Every structure is written in C-alpha cells, then in structure tokens.
Amino acid sequence: MINFFHTLIISLALITLSGCSAIYHTNSYITSFFHEEVVFIYTSSDYPSEVYDSKDHPPRQATLIFGPYQPNIGDGGGGFGGNNHYYKGPMEDKELVALWQVPLESKTLRYYVRSEPNKGIIKAPREGRYAYDVGVALGPMRARPTGLTENQHLASDIIDWSISGKPILYRWGEWDKLYYVTGIFDSSDLMQIPRTFNEIQAIAITPEQYDKLYERCHSDWRAVKCFMDESFPDLTPDQLAYIQARKHPDDDDRLADKFPKPERRVNRYK
C-alpha cells in the first residue's frame, strides 16, 4: 500500500511537471511567433581601392538603424559578419537608415540612405523560429563563386583568386545602394548561397553633412534624430528632393524632443 501511494505521488508530480513544461514551451512558442527573441545582423561592404589605417584619410565608418535595432558595426567593411541583438520590437515596415564613409585612394565616399514613408523593412517569414537573421550590404558586397545569381555574376568583379587561378571571391553591388535581406541563414550562407536582395537608393553627401548626421546618429537621441532634414548645410536640388521624398510625418516632433530619449541597449544574451 505504501509503495502504491508512493508511485501515485511520483506519477502525479510528473504529470504536473509535464503540464507546466508544456505550458512553458507553448507560451514560449506563442511569444516567439509574434516577436523575435534574438536577431543576428550581418553586414558587408567592399569597395575597390579602399585605403585602410591611413593618417592621411578619414576613417572608414558605417552606421545602421534597422527598425528597432542599431547594431554596432564599426567600419562595416569586408565580408558578412556581425553580432546578435535581443528583441526590442517588430521590424516589419519599420524605418531603415544608414550612412557610411569609405576612403579610397583618390577620394572619400560618403552615402546616406533612408527608407521612404510607408515603404519600410520587408520581412521574410520566420518559419516559427525564435532567432531571426538580417543581411545588409552598404554598397558592394563580398561573395563566394556560388553566392551570386546569374544576373549578379554578370555585374560582378573578381577580387581574389586561388593559387591555381580559380576565382574565390567576387564583388557585387552598386556603390550608391543599400542591399538587405531577412530570413533564416548565417554569415556563411550570405556569401555562398545566391539570393535576391531588397534595394534602397542612397545619395552622396558632403563631409560637413556627414559629420552633422553622424553626430545625430551617435548622440543620446541616436535612433530618434538619425536622419537628414532641410536644415542641413549646402543641400543640392537632388539632396533636397531625396530628403523631402523620405520625410516621415513625425519628423518635426522627433527633432523637437517630443519623443522619449532612447534607452541604452543592454545585451541580455552576453
């Protein structure tokens, strides 16, 4: 009789624990179905004739705001690489802003990108997974021989060969465009498996315009005020048209400090 009650108690405990586990995993799945738990953002950028670590040239810099995420991508150069970011909010239809500075042997490139209103981030299905991946190229990207579509191959340049003379690295992409793709992949996949990227046209900016924008995007108001407006100096007609076409309805309020100051990011997965 004692053994019977002992067995019954253990069985009930196991059933209870199993039920709790099932509820926990169900809740976790429901949460991850609607939200990203972890987002991995990989970036690439590769221009010909780049100058590295020169005291005579400005530093290479890259800044990206991808919806609720602002990854620390540093210079953004080379092949696809990056870090994970904890969930901060949905990225679908959210704003995308980027600026990058690239010193070449003969000049320095400076570009600015902003998505148009109501034309925010296009997000692929998550396939029920808790982690999600983003690939972004600031201008041309690096790829392996298998990593480009047929049309991309036709518009690419070979940038590295093996000892036997076979191409092992390609450069593809226009200098004044940002490319991005979302889904389930890793940095190796981005370089080795061909895919179609979403494109956003960039515009060239001056050193003074870049410095003002860089300061906005790296201040305490970084994500709120990280965009160009009509107050920027020496705007050309093309730049003004670009800014006006991408003006969001809440821009004036964002610049007037009517939005809360962003909180500093703390990565809870480290």
Render pLDDT for 196-219 as a digit per residue (tens, 0 to 9): 999 999 999 999 999 999 999 998
- If you average pLDDT over residues 58-73, what whole number do you get? 93
Domain count, the chain: 2
Is the same domain home to 27 and 49? no
pLDDT at 34 over 60: no
User: Does residue 19 form part of some domain?
Assistant: yes
Same domain, 60 and 97: yes
Q: For 54-197, list the strands marked E by DSSP.
A: 61-66, 78-86, 96-103, 108-114, 131-138, 141-143, 157-161, 167-172, 177-183
- At 246, the pLDDT band (50, 70, 90 cuts) reads very high
Question: Is residue 160 located within the same domain as residue 221?
Answer: yes
Report angle CA 73, 244, 202 to the nearest 5 degrees.
35
> Which range of residues forms the domain containing residue 112?
36-255
Q: Examine the domain organization and report whether 2 and 60 are in the same domain.
A: no
Same domain, 19 and 117: no
Q: Assess if residue 2 is contained within a domain.
A: yes
Beta strands in 5-107 (DSSP E): 38-45, 61-66, 78-86, 96-103
Residues 104 and 121 in one domain: yes
Per-residue pLDDT tens over the stretch 83-108 = 888 877 889 999 999 999 999 999 99
Which strands, in side-by-side order, build the sheet including 177-183? 78-86, 38-45, 131-138, 177-183, 198-201
144 and 111 part of one domain: yes
268 domain-assigned:
no
Whether the pLDDT of residue 26 is over 60: the answer is: no
CB 38 within 8 A of CB 130: yes
86 plus 121 within the same structural domain: yes
Residues 50 and 5 in one domain: no
Residues 30 and 44 occupy one common structural domain: no
- If residue 75 lies in a helix (H) or strand (E), which one and from where to where? none
Q: Which helix (H) or strand (E) holds 233?
A: none
Same domain for 91 and 151, yes or no, is yes
